[in-house]
Structure formats: C-alpha cells, structure tokens
Amino acid sequence: MTNKGLLVILSGPSGAGKGTVIQSLLAQSKTIRLSVSATTRSPRPGETDGKEYYFISREKFSRMEQGGRMLESAEYCGNRYGTPAAPIEEWNSQGLDALLEIEVQGGALVKAKRPDSVGIFVLPPSLEILEQRLRNRGTEPDETVRKRLQAAKREIREAGNYDYVVVNDQVERAAGEICQIIRSEKLRTSRNKQLIERVLNK
Amino acid sequence: MTNKGLLVILSGPSGAGKGTVIQSLLAQSKTIRLSVSATTRSPRPGETDGKEYYFISREKFSRMEQGGRMLESAEYCGNRYGTPAAPIEEWNSQGLDALLEIEVQGGALVKAKRPDSVGIFVLPPSLEILEQRLRNRGTEPDETVRKRLQAAKREIREAGNYDYVVVNDQVERAAGEICQIIRSEKLRTSRNKQLIERVLNK
C-alpha cells in the first residue's frame, strides 16, 4: 500500500454538519491534518494566525498565487481567500492526509489541479432535516433560512462531481465512513504502480 | 448508501493465496457470496454439482451463452468454462455482494461487460516469497515451479487493469482490506445518484 498521504476535499451544504464530522474525524484518525486557508482580510477578535486562517497581505497573496503556491483562490466581499499548496504537499509526502473543507466551486478548482485528490460530499439525511437544523440555530430570520436552503439545493446538485457521498445522519458513523474511504483509496492500483514494480523485482 | 450489492472480481497469480483470503473473507462478512462457475467437463470423484462447479451439458452451455446468460466463457483442454450471470444479478439485487475468483483474461471480459464491477488483484509480498510458497507445496518438479513463476509474472503485469491491489502478507489483514474496499465502494457517488435525488426531494 502506498505510504503517500491523500488530499481529501470535503464539501457539503451549510447545515450538513461538516464541522462536527471533521472534529470526530480528527479524533478518530492520527494521520489526518486540516488545511488552513490564507486570507487578506483582517483577523477578527479572538482569531489566531495559522488557526482560523493564515492572515497575509494582498501582496504576499498575489506573489504566492503567481508562483503557483495556491491550489485555488477566490474573492469574497473584497477580500481574497486561498488554499496554500505547501503544507498539503509536505503532509502528503510524510504519509499524512490533508483534509480541505471547501465550497463546491473551490472544490472543483482543486480537483482539476490535483486529479489524484479524493472528493467527498457530506449530505444531510434530507432537506427537511437540513431546514430543521438551520432553524434550530435560532439566530437567523426566516428569509435567511429560506435563502440558505436554496443555496443548499444548488450545492447538493453538484454532489455528482464528487467521488463519494456520505450521509451525516450520525456523526461518528459518517466520520468512520470517511476514514474507511481514505484507507480504501490508498489501495487503488493507480496509487500503487511502484508497489507492483517492487513485487515484480524482488 | 446504495443497498445494491457489488460484483467483485478477484484475481492474482497461483501462490498468492487467493483461496485462504476468500475463506477469511467469507468468515468476516455476512454479505459476500462466492460465484460458482459452470463447466462442460465431467465431475471428478468427490466433486458436487453447484459446489466446485455447475456441471452442465455442452448444449445447455451454448444455449446459456447465446442467450447472454454467461458473463464470460473460455475453452480449456477441450472443455468449456463460464460464469453464469443469473445468481450474481439475484444476489446483487438482494444487497449481497458476489465474489468472482477468476484469471486475468476472464476478469477483463467481466469488467468490460460490467464496468460497475470492482476489480481487486491479490499480490504476493514478493516473487521470492511466491516461489517459496510454490516450492513448499512440495508436489511440483522444479520445471513446473519455474513455469508457474513465469506465468505469475505475466499475470502481475496485468494488475494495473484492476481497481485495487491488496498484498497478501497476512491473510486476515488482506481479507479485512477487501471488506473495506467493498464498503467504501458502496459510498461512491456513481452508485448513489438515487440517494442524492432522494435527499433533494424530501
């Protein structure tokens, strides 16, 4: 089995519970590292550089982008956001798996640049339950919930572009399925050409 | 997750230990059924119809083949051998996984006819260990061992046509990896289009 780590792209609509699944995943697996995005926006109170984001200047962002050191990037509300390639490459070469939580447009950009990555889409059990979850947060007016639900539908229609789907009806089970996908993907023939050669030459 | 069973194609050179891996697999999993080939050769003493093979007439074999009821077929030493499609389809529709142990040419024919099948190639840890295993059987003259080793090399070069490779250095681990592959494959987006539609419509 290959001892190179994987790049795992994790997407899913707001309310699908990606955050709690990721917490469970990091607790279950010793080989998974969570990718941290870079942004040009200023840190909010309580945010730490390298934890929520790498907070970098617009100049540095542009330099990294032009040097091919961003796996993807996007502009949002006048600020730039991107995925630094270096930590992912380093983890992968050490046999560690990089987990990238990202929305579907960004996920498509990363998949195009790294076809060897594994795309996993986290689904809610149903739109009804998704709506409940969004309402239970209790902080959003009806209009916002309605808009989020529409956005969720649009995102779920992109699930077909991912390699795997995992239904988050139970957090630990969903996280366990993702661990299983990662282990199984490492047995793919396409990742083990060298292993086959090694067997033939020993 | 889809509740349709999978068709799993298992190949590997003589001496890779497919037989013991399959025994361990059947003991570990409740959902796997082993496909039984049909042949026109006569049963040997101790062989039972439906266990080692389905022993059928040449006429019946031809009728099944012409009716598209064989997934693949081959001629060997004047006898015909083939994989009946019906049991596999029935198991799959019941949510049971069909395991087909087959050599690489037959495996390629099945994969072409059923692109949704999952090909797994069982590798020995090394050619050296394969040779030891072949010699330890103790029943074969040197010349036969040499020929088998050459045949094994040719087969291993076909491993690249399979979806996954599993190294049989430890039987239970190898069988466990195959179980993992089966569970993970059921999470593939391509097998869960209906699930995605269901989530969108509930």
Q: Are B22 and B10 in contact (CB under 8 A)?
A: yes
Is residue A121 within 8 angstroms of chain B, CB to CB? yes
Q: Domain A7-35+96-200 has what CATH class?
A: alpha beta
Per residue in B118-165, pLDDT tens? 999 999 999 999 998 888 877 778 888 899 899 999 999 999 999 999
For the residues A62-91, what does the mean pLDDT come to?
Answer: 96
Percent of chain A with pLDDT over 90: 87
Strand order across the beta sheet in which A118-123 lies: A32-34, A97-101, A7-11, A118-123, A164-167
Q: How confident is the model at residue B26 (pLDDT cuts 50, 70, 90)?
A: very high
Q: What is the mean pLDDT of chain B?
A: 94
Find out whether A37 and A53 touch, Cβ atoms under 8 Å.
yes
pLDDT of residue A2: 81
ipTM higher than the 0.90 cut: yes
Distance from CA of A158 to the nearest CA of B (A): 10
What average pLDDT does range A173-179 have in this prediction?
97
Strands A79-84 and A38-39: antiparallel
Mean pLDDT of chain A: 94
User: Residue A56 has what pLDDT?
Assistant: 97
Per-residue pLDDT at A28 exceeds 80: yes
Q: Which residues pair with B16 in a beta bridge?
A: none
B7-36+97-200 falls under which CATH superfamily? Answer: P-loop containing nucleotide triphosphate hydrolases (3.40.50.300)
Q: Are B153 and B16 in contact (CB under 8 A)?
A: no
Does A156 have pLDDT greater than 80?
A: yes
As a residue count, chain B comes to: 202
Alpha carbon distance B181, B178 (integer Å): 5
- Give the C-alpha separation, B61 to A176, whole Å: 45
**Helix H or strand E segment including B7:** strand B7-11
Domain ranges of chain B: 7-36+97-200
Using a 10 angstrom Cβ sphere, with 0-12 exposed, 13-18 middle and 19 or more buried, the burial of residue B81 is buried
Averaged pLDDT, B92-116: 96
Q: Does A194 touch chain B (CB under 8 A)?
A: no
Which helix (H) or strand (E) element contains residue B143? helix B142-156
Residue B156 with chain A: CB contacts under 8 Å: 196, 199-200
Q: Which of the four pLDDT bands, split at 50, 70 and 90, describes residue B179?
A: very high
